[in-house]
């Protein structure tokens, strides 16, 4: 049996990360965090792994003036 991975909207991802949707979209626009994949409609689809990656980056970066793009390693 195949395990189905949960998918989240940008709003849901932002809530789990602890920021507003607008903040998360700004980070994406400014290329501070890596874009998640998109579905057939073109909407961003976040996995729990994507959310944990961005949350870890957010926790490691405490002062907004010192924010650096997250490493562009393997997703």
Query: Strand, coil or helix: what is 44?
Result: strand
Kindly report the CATH number that applies to the domain delimited by 10-64.
Answer: 1.10.1660.10
Query: Domain-by-domain residue ranges, the chain?
Result: 10-64
Q: Is the predicted pLDDT of residue 74 greater than 60, yes or no?
A: no
Residue 48 tokens read as: 């729990």
Distance in angstroms (rounded) separating the CA atoms of residues 46 and 6? 8
Question: Does the pTM exceed 0.85?
Answer: no
**Neighbour-count burial for 3-39, b at 16+ CB within 10 Å, e otherwise:** eeeebbebeebbeebebeeeebeebbeeebbbebeee
Average pLDDT over residues 38-57: 96
Q: Is the predicted pLDDT of residue 4 greater than 90, yes or no?
A: no
Spatial CA neighbour of 14 closest among 44, 55, 53? 55
């Amino acid at each position: 049996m195949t395990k189905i991975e949960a998918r989240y909207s940008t709003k849901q991802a932002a809530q789990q990360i602890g920021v507003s949707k607008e903040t998360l979209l700004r980070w994406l626009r400014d290329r501070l965090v890596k874009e998640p994949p998109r579905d057939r409609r073109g909407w961003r689809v976040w996995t729990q792994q994507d959310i944990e990656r961005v949350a870890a980056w957010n926790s490691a970066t405490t002062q907004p003036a010192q924010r650096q793009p997250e490493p562009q390693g393997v997703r």
